[in-house]
Homo-oligomer: A and B are copies of this chain.
Amino acid sequence: MVRGLSRVAIAGVLISSVTLGTWSLADELPALPDPELEIVATLQQGPGNITVTPEGRIVISNHQFYEPEYRVLEVLPDGTTKPFPTEQWSRAPGDDGIGLNAVLGVRADPLGVVWMLDNGGEVPKVVGWNTRHERLERVIYIPAPVTRPGSFHNDLAVDTAHQALYIADIGGDRGPALVVVDLKTGLARRVLEGHPSVQAQNRPMVIDGREVTLGAGEDATPARVGVNPITIDDEHEWVYFGAMHGTDLWRVPAKALADSELAPEELTAQVERFGDKPLSDGISMDSDGNVYITDVENHAIGVTTPDGSYRIYAQNDYLLSWPDGMSAGPHRWMYATVNQLHRSAVLNGGESVSKAPYYVVRVRSLGRTVPGR
């Protein structure tokens, strides 16, 4: 709803003009316009990812590392939140199975269906909620063997042209993979398992002078996380993705990814390196092919332009403390959640030093936006 957005813009606080980071290539590239970084909502609970519907409704997950009561929220035009899609669906499942265990990935499609990726419980699932009719659109479970021991379904892209969901599974006992869900049949496939494009690089992620670890106490080990950020262009032509601990941004034709008849080697032959990326969490993109990336080491939101070069776009040590998920919204706004995740117990040796407030922010995108991706 445009009315909501304009109210947010009025309420928004302009935090910083463009701040070019210290990233080496940035100096050689032309300056970017003012990102117009704004606070959209101030939150007491740490958010996960974010999506914006075609009508401008903002939906965020609550990050499972912070053990929230409600898994998914809608951010209202006044910056307050309410459980999404309903009180019942937003909580842990009850005896009837209705509810969500743990959600990070959320994506709205062009028909206003918000797809929520529940990576918890005995069997992970995707729940599609039709926001135009306020009713359940679809539930698709993803059991073994497509879900592997150790799987962690982190984020997703929605492809309404090829009727498919593309899920980034950072875990799995045989390596990270993409999971392709055929929306026509409900059948899921595990692809690119262990391929270089989904593997973590052996690079430390250092934030505020400390290397991010996984686990508690003496079990804490340096984090090396595979494929996590994933998005799709608004022509449904290319799917962009990369490892969290990785400096390569990859892409593969959506048509190839959605094709269940394609042999594994025919698929991998179509995966190509698109450009540079920082160690990151979520990504989104605009209609000009610019990919926006939450640059967690640099407290920044950056952009990889179609020439493959990466630059920091908006940077703020305080406000962008682990920017996490990203989503295009209407009117050339690009939204992000910020959640201090490197200070959560999971990524900080078992001790949580995260402190509210957390944020939903937005920047002005370089090109036109199609909401949801």
Residues of A whose CB lies within 8 Å of any CB of B are: 93, 95-98, 122-123, 136-141, 143-146, 185-190
Contacts and interface: CB of A to CB of B under 8 A. Distances in A.
Contact of A187 (B139, B144, B146): B139
Contacts of A136: 185, 187
Given A123-B123, A143-B143, A144-B122, A138 B95 contact: no
Interface centre among A93, A140, A186, A188, by most chain B C-beta atoms within 10 angstroms, is A186
Contact of A146 (B97, B138, B189): B97
A232 B189 CA distance: 34
24 contacts: A95-B145, A96-B145, A96-B146, A97-B143, A97-B144, A97-B145, A97-B146, A97-B187, A97-B188, A98-B187, A122-B143, A122-B144, A123-B123, A123-B141, A123-B143, A123-B144, A136-B185, A137-B185, A138-B185, A138-B186, A139-B185, A139-B186, A140-B186, A141-B143
Do most interface residues of chain A lie in helix, strand or loop, or is the interface mixed? loop
A50 B22 CA distance: 70
Contacts of A96: 145-146, 189-190
A187 B190 CA distance: 23
A187 B95 CA distance: 14
A136 B184 CA distance: 9
Task: Please list the 8 inter-chain residue pairs (A to B) with the smallest Cβ-Cβ separation, ordered nearest first.
Answer: A141-B141, A123-B143, A139-B186, A139-B187, A136-B185, A97-B145, A97-B146, A138-B185
Contact of A145 (B93, B137, B138, B141): B93
Contacts of A185: 136-139
A27 to B, nearest CB: 48
A123 B164 CA distance: 22
A194 to B, nearest CB: 13
Nearest to A174: B95
Contacts of A140: 186
A146 to B, nearest CB: 5
Nearest to A128: B185
Contacts of A186: 138-141, 186
A140 B181 CA distance: 12
A51 to B, nearest CB: 20
Nearest to A147: B97
A117 to B, nearest CB: 15
Given A97-B146, A123-B123, A123-B143, 10 more contacts: A96-B145, A96-B190, A97-B145, A122-B143, A122-B144, A136-B187, A137-B185, A138-B185, A139-B186, A141-B186
A149 to B, nearest CB: 12
Contacts of A189: 96
A98 B182 CA distance: 14
A207 to B, nearest CB: 38
A10 B364 CA distance: 76
Contacts of A144: 97, 122-123
Interface centre among A93, A96, A97, by most chain B C-beta atoms within 10 angstroms, is A97
A89 to B, nearest CB: 11
A88 to B, nearest CB: 12
A10 to B, nearest CB: 39
Nearest to A188: B97
Nearest to A130: B185
Contacts of A190: 96
